[in-house]
Amino acid sequence: MNRCYGVAPWQRCLFYALIVFFCAPPLQAQDTTGNRPRPATPDVPQNSSLKIFIQSLSVSGNKAVPTDEIKGEMITKENTTYFGFFRPWLGLYNFANIFGDSSGVKLWIQRTLGEAPRYYTRTLLGKDTDKLRELFFYYGYPSAQIDTSLRFASNLSGVDIKINITENEPLRIDSIFYLGIDSLSADVRGALNEKSLMQQGDVFNYKSVLDEQQRIVALLQDVGYPFAVRDSVSVDTLNNKAGVRFLFQPKEQLVFGNIRVLVHNPFGPDSTAELRTQSEDSITIDILGEKWLHPNAIRRALAYKPGILTSNRDLNNTRRLLGRTELFESSLFRNDSVKDGRLYTTLDLRLAPQHQIRFDLLLSNPNNAPNIGISPTYTNRNLMGLAENFRVKASAGIQLAYPAVTNTDQTLNRSLFSNLELSAEVRTPFFFNANNRFSASTIFGIYEQPSYRLRNATLRLRAELEHTALQKSVFDMFQLEIVQIDTSASFNPAELPRGSNFDLGYQPHINASIRYDFFFSNLPEERRRIDLRWDFSAEEAGASTYLIDQLLDNSPRENFTSNDAQIFGIRYFQFLKLRTQLVIGKSLSRNSYTAAKLYLGAMTPYAKSQLTPFERRFFSGGANSLRGWPYNSFGPGARRTPDGSGVADVNLATLGADLKIEFGFEHRITFAQAGSFSLGFALFTDAGNIWDRTGVNALTLGNLFSTSGWDAGYGFRVQTPIGPLRFDLAYKLYDPTEPVDKFRFGKLQIFGAGGAVFNFGIGEAF
């Protein structure tokens, strides 16, 4: 039995009022004839002057066409309903009736926020039936039967509309002919058939016909036929069989001729007095008004060359590579002429300003709470003439709220938090080839957390490798990081039950590492069935510092022994770290989306190090983790004391751990959309934890489930130009750190705090 604890009378009244406004249908309209409503007769009400509210609109029997698409084609619609009864926008429309017509408030609410009641009209439903027959004919079901049934309320206040579809036998493709391609090579003709979107025996539909003709034209334009066009498409049908004939005009096959690149003056009209010209390999580059731009910065971004077959794919790739240089505001390809089988082209480029100073306002959630800041940035887009991008950036933020750091009822006294970061970076858009980038950067940052302050200075050499449109890698060839951690007065790591050696992670130390990240995403694919994102990272730290320790720094150091990992009196760490995350998502309808994630992480020290550095460990809890626990406050394991006799201090979770497993599931629903803004709702659940490698809080196969936390909750989404803003409330369902009553179902509260944890986030959780 569900119970509600601590609910005040006014809360109950508010709850029932919301039920009335947001779940009940509109009041029955008055009969304009003065007659009382009569009971409904089968199918059609006798009193047609009444406004009959559409209680529900359901579709059944359809397999070939999604229900959302069917309802989207119909003029007859039901009010937006969630969970079968919740009508928020109709509720707002009804709520506005408490205001007078003269106030203007009623009209504003009903037009901007509300949704007017949807009423039944016999003629419109008849038109919808005809439209659905046309829709199924478009999808290859010309004999589909559309039946509608109406069930009226006894007082004619509402109607349930049911549409049953009998699709019957579809049209199936009997033959496919490509005409006008006899002049093409055998390889091109083979590609036309091999990658066809239509096969004999498939259900015929006009969308496939349109997609197939676009595919063929695109293929021809990529193999030297830039002016290929579709002439016509004909379809012959007989006895549920369809023969499709495509007629194309490839026209003349061409190769690229001479290429002219014209770089326009960024500060005014073009003048030949400032013209610089370089001609090489039939490519002429004319630069007007820009002294520091070397022609090779453009030449190596050209994916098409004179003498090769014309290809739209190469032109688009050139546009992409030019965009990666960040030198140009716009690019335009022009076909100049055709002569002797060659297509002569001109590429017009307009430079962006070389120097730029920009101030950005920042909104982020570094500690699972809102943080606003300002970020001035200076950019030189062409430092030495070959599109080297030099950037100096500073950012400073102020915490607007304070995240909880314990999962007890105690609240810590906290000061105003701030974050400061200074960085400088030089990046070149060409690293062995135009698809790769190389960068060198240095970063200094101060990052304040609820219990400590982290000061960090980093030097990094990075290569970004783009393998395909779906795959890329990031390789940090060298990263040197100097870290200092200052703990707050309320947090003393030396007093923690892990032992006095654990506070080594809080002393100044060095991490010298190499790291490889791989990213895969199929989101650029248009015809994907599911959304799939996978990333993997591997990191090694300490090998280079160990060599220095062994070969160069042999002098004894105060407070260190020969077995300690140190160079020149500064501690360093040696560790290996692996991490991976898989996210799968699927759009269930036009306004709903379901996603799931699996996160796995492990790290271990090696050689001279016995511990892993604090700032590299895994943490659990917060807006992007287990949302039922405050930020970085959960685990490790059941959080036992070293002797296993009880639950350790909650600060143990703040230290992180070396193993992590997390699972998340989320269902998102979009309510309303206006331009780039939208409102949504989400239901979610999370499970997992972090664990030590050894000890009473270590992970074993036997305790994986018993020491994993489980939460569930709901939240609201506001889609903005900077990304979705998340406001989530999560409830613990199973808490392994509780000595008793680990399952928390009986302690949930709908109203009030009730153990709910509020999370604010920018961007989706996964």
Provide mean pLDDT across the span 91-118. 83
Query: Between 17 and 600, whose confidence is greater?
Result: 600
Tokens 């892993």 label which residue?
612
Q: Is it the case that residue 24 has pLDDT exceeding 80?
A: no
- What are the φ/ψ torsions at residue 479 (nearest 5 degrees)? -140, 120
Count CA atoms closer than 13 A to 212's CA, side-chain side. Answer: 25
Percent of residues, the chain, with pLDDT higher than 90: 53
Residue-level pLDDT at 457: 96
pLDDT tier, 71 (very low <50, low <70, confident <90, very high otherwise): very high
Residue-level pLDDT at 36: 39
Structure tokens at 651: 């600060």
Residue-level pLDDT at 472: 96
Of the ranges 48-62, 137-151, 303-317, 498-512, which one carries the lowest mean pLDDT score? 498-512
Mention every residue, 6+ apart, whose C-beta is less than 8 A from residue 29. 50, 51
Residue-level pLDDT at 743: 87
Tell me if residue 519 falls in helix, strand or coil: strand
Residue-wise pLDDT tens digits, 395-411: 998 887 655 554 333 34
Residue-wise pLDDT tens digits, 559-602: 888 888 889 889 999 999 999 999 999 998 878 899 999 999 99
Residue-level pLDDT at 316: 94
DSSP state of 737: T
Tokens 């027959």 label which residue?
133
Residue-level pLDDT at 417: 55
Q: Is it the case that residue 329 has pLDDT exceeding 80?
A: yes
Q: Is it the case that residue 37 has pLDDT exceeding 80?
A: no
Mention every residue, 6+ apart, whose C-beta is less than 8 A from residue 673. 679, 719
Q: Is it the case that residue 346 has pLDDT exceeding 50?
A: yes
Q: Is it the case that residue 13 has pLDDT exceeding 70?
A: no
Helices 186-194 and 206-222, axial angle in degrees (round to 10): 150
Of the ranges 128-142, 281-295, 347-361, 480-494, which one carries the lowest mean pLDDT score? 480-494
Query: Between 107 and 318, whose confidence is greater?
Result: 318
CATH class entry, domain 255-351: alpha beta
CATH superfamily of 172-249: membrane protein fhac (3.10.20.310)
Q: What is the mean pLDDT of the chain?
A: 85
Query: Between 165 and 94, whose confidence is greater?
Result: 165
Provide mean pLDDT across the span 172-179. 92
Residue-level pLDDT at 501: 38
User: ω before 366 within 30° of 0 (cis)?
Assistant: no
Residue-level pLDDT at 265: 80
Tell me if residue 212 falls in helix, strand or coil: helix
Tell me if residue 360 falls in helix, strand or coil: strand
Structure tokens at 544: 């280079």
Residue-level pLDDT at 271: 77
Of the ranges 105-114, 228-237, 496-505, which one carries the lowest mean pLDDT score? 496-505
581 and 535 Cβ atoms separated by less than 8 Å: yes
Provide mean pLDDT across the span 83-96. 81
Q: Is it the case that residue 646 has pLDDT exceeding 90?
A: no
Tell me if residue 105 falls in helix, strand or coil: helix
pLDDT tier, 342 (very low <50, low <70, confident <90, very high otherwise): very high
Residue-wise pLDDT tens digits, 688-724: 999 999 988 999 999 999 999 999 999 999 988 878 8
State the pTM of this model.
0.81
Residue-level pLDDT at 163: 95
pLDDT tier, 343 (very low <50, low <70, confident <90, very high otherwise): very high
Compute how many other C-beta atoms are within 10 angstroms of the C-beta atom of residue 398: 13
Provide mean pLDDT across the span 301-330. 94
Residue-wise pLDDT tens digits, 433-479: 888 999 999 999 998 876 778 899 999 999 999 999 899 999 999 99
Helices 9-23 and 88-95, axial angle in degrees (round to 10): 100
Separation CA 762–CA 364 (nearest Å): 7
Q: At 249, which helix (H) or strand (E)?
A: strand 241-249
Q: Is it the case that residue 650 has pLDDT exceeding 80?
A: no
pLDDT tier, 558 (very low <50, low <70, confident <90, very high otherwise): confident
Q: Is it the case that residue 289 has pLDDT exceeding 90?
A: no
Residue-wise pLDDT tens digits, 485-525: 876 544 555 444 443 334 444 578 999 999 999 999 999 88
Q: Is 445 exposed, middle or buried (0-12, 13-18, 19+ CB in 10 A)?
A: middle
Residue-level pLDDT at 449: 76
DSSP state of 274: G
Residue-level pLDDT at 407: 39
Residue-wise pLDDT tens digits, 656-685: 899 999 999 999 988 777 777 888 889 999
Of the ranges 5-9, 139-143, 162-166, 609-613, which one carries the lowest mean pLDDT score? 5-9
Separation CA 284–CA 413 (nearest Å): 68
